[in-house]
C-alpha cells in the first residue's frame, strides 16, 4: 500500500530528524520548524516528497514522468533565480 509506506516513511524521517536535533547534529533555523511542530515536518517536509515520488513512479509512460520531472526542475530553477539571483536571499 503506497499510502501506508509514504506515511511510515515520513514518520520515520521525522523521528530521525528529531533525534539528530536532540544530539546537536542537526539544527533548525526557523522557529516554526522544530520538534514542537512535528506535523509540519511530517506533512510538508517528507509526506509530500513520498507521495509525489510514488505518483511519478506509477505514471504509465516515460514521457509523462519526464514532463513532471521537468516541471519540478523548472520550479526549482525559477526559485533559485528569484530568491538567489534577484533577491540575494541565498
pTM for the structure as a whole: 0.81
Residue with cell 516513511: 9
Return the SS3 of 78: helix
Predicted pLDDT of residue 50 = 97
CA 90/CA 85 separation, integer angstroms: 8
Please report which confidence band the pLDDT of residue 7 belongs to, taking 50, 70 and 90 as the band edges. very high
Please report which confidence band the pLDDT of residue 30 belongs to, taking 50, 70 and 90 as the band edges. confident
Amino acid at each position: 500500500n503506497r499510502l501506508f509506506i509514504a506515511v511510515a516513511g515520513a514518520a520515520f524521517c521525522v523521528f530521525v530528524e528529531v533525534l539528530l536535533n536532540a544530539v546537536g547534529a542537526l539544527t533548525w533555523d526557523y522557529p516554526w520548524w522544530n520538534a514542537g511542530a512535528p506535523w509540519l515536518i511530517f506533512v510538508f517536509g517528507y509526506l509530500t516528497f513520498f507521495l509525489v515520488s510514488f505518483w511519478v513512479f506509477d505514471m504509465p509512460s516515460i514521457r509523462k514522468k519526464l514532463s513532471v520531472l521537468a516541471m519540478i526542475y523548472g520550479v526549482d530553477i525559477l526559485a533559485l533565480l528569484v530568491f538567489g539571483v534577484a533577491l540575494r536571499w541565498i
